[in-house]
Amino acid sequence: MKPENIIECMSNFDGSALDGHLLKLLLAVLETGSITAAAERLGVTQSAVSHLLDKLRAITGDPLFVKRGRGIVPTARAEALAQPARDMLHQMQRFAQGAEFDPRAWQTELTLAANDFQRDLLLPALAARLRTAAPGVTLRIVPSGAPSAELLRSDACQLVISPRPPDGTDIVQKRLFEDQYRVFYDASVRSAPATEADYLAADHATVAYEAHRGLELDRQLATRGVRRRFAVRVPGFAALPAFVRGTALLTTAPSLLARTALADLASAPVPVVCPAMPMYLVWHARYQQDAAHRWLRGELEAIAAHALGAGSAAAHSPQRLQGLQAL
């Protein structure tokens, strides 16, 4: 639906009957595709969701969701209203915050997207910080995979932590830290690979969030016509120990995993030229000047600096604004 048609639809609303609860409800049902799942996300009963949905249907004059098989699907009107609903909720939040942001008064469900490496390294500390500084915030963590710009545009999450930020003129990124790769192995079964030949002769386990998309290391090796031999590909770093332990497999992973998922494996420098692994905070431009979001980004930078040591985190590196000249 064109923007002018959305505005025309919204002009028929009884605006005084709309509130943030109804907008959140619309988005929850749209994003989960289920009355039950929406109720769980909102922390209310299914009957409450059904009651509010009936109220929203009366306001919009549209069924919004219709049955298909055992599930429900949104109408075209519901899909067209999704982005205006997100924009209005964002404006409501900014209105409520006022000029001075007080995290103690912040009431929201905050969704961050991160894969297991950065999740386990940083987000437990963030959750602890929120419990004391912003107790009204519920932290929801979803896997980012190989994140897309649409993940942020749709407001399915408010922040991504990823080594591979998506491209987009409306997507903002800032380097959070940089790590080096190491090769991990079971020292009770084998020794560390001493040379490139030893390394390339071994069988490897690796992480692949998308089919046919490996580490930057493998792309660099491919330019030399060299490839590692993979015995196992898993969807996250936390799965690697179960496959490497008790075998002669090697796995090449960020060195900081020696503190978390790979703590019980031995490690050594990678005996081939290996790129560094950067990590970025990534968000949509609409949050660039948002006081709550800026506070959140600052907290994550401080957590990264503390976790990595003052000399390791790139917490003060320049922010990269892609196509954003006026923010």
Residue 77 sits at φ, ψ, to 5 deg, of: -65, -45
Residue 324 has pLDDT above 50, yes or no: no
Q: By C-alpha distance, which of 30, 11, 33 is closest to 22?
A: 30
Query: Position 85: which residue type?
Result: A
Lowest-confidence pick of 183-192, 207-216, 232-241: 207-216
Who has greater pLDDT, 94 or 208?
208
User: For residue 79, what are its two tokens?
Assistant: 């899909």
Instruction: Give the pLDDT confidence score for residue 319 in this predicted structure.
Output: 40
**pLDDT of 247-269, one tens digit each?**
999 999 999 999 889 999 999 99
3-state secondary structure of 102: coil
Instruction: Give the pLDDT confidence score for residue 94 in this predicted structure.
Output: 66
Instruction: Give the pLDDT confidence score for residue 37 in this predicted structure.
Output: 87
Average pLDDT over residues 49-68: 87
pLDDT category at 289 given cuts 50, 70, 90 is confident
Share of the chain above pLDDT 70, in %: 86
Instruction: Give the pLDDT confidence score for residue 96 in this predicted structure.
Output: 61
The stretches of 33-115 forming alpha helices (DSSP H) are 35-42, 46-60, 76-97
Instruction: Give the pLDDT confidence score for residue 80 in this predicted structure.
Output: 87
Residue 281 has pLDDT above 90, yes or no: yes
Instruction: Give the pLDDT confidence score for residue 92 in this predicted structure.
Output: 74
When the pLDDT of each residue in the chain is averaged and rounded to a whole number, the result is 84
Instruction: Give the pLDDT confidence score for residue 317 in this predicted structure.
Output: 38
C-beta neighbour count of 178 within 10 angstroms: 16
Residue 170 has pLDDT above 70, yes or no: yes
pLDDT category at 95 given cuts 50, 70, 90 is low
Share of the chain above pLDDT 90, in %: 45
Radius of gyration of the chain (CA): 23
pLDDT category at 1 given cuts 50, 70, 90 is very low
DSSP 239: G
Q: Which residues contact 221 (CB under 8 A, 6 or more apart)?
A: 227, 228, 272
Average pLDDT over residues 73-82: 88
Instruction: Give the pLDDT confidence score for residue 98 in this predicted structure.
Output: 54
Lowest-confidence pick of 39-53, 103-117, 122-136, 187-201: 39-53
Distance CA 186, CA 218 (A): 22
Bridge partners of 17, per DSSP, are: none
Average pLDDT over residues 190-200: 94
Residue 211 has pLDDT above 50, yes or no: yes
Q: How far is it between the farthest Cα atoms of the chain?
A: 72
Average pLDDT over residues 239-244: 96
Instruction: Give the pLDDT confidence score for residue 181 in this predicted structure.
Output: 93
Domains of the chain plus CATH, in order, are 3-97 (1.10.10.10), 103-176+284-321 (3.40.190.10), 181-275 (3.40.190.10)
pLDDT category at 298 given cuts 50, 70, 90 is very high
Lowest-confidence pick of 76-85, 212-221, 294-303: 212-221
DSSP letter string, 33-52: --HHHHHHHHTS-HHHHHHH
Residue 318 has pLDDT above 60, yes or no: no
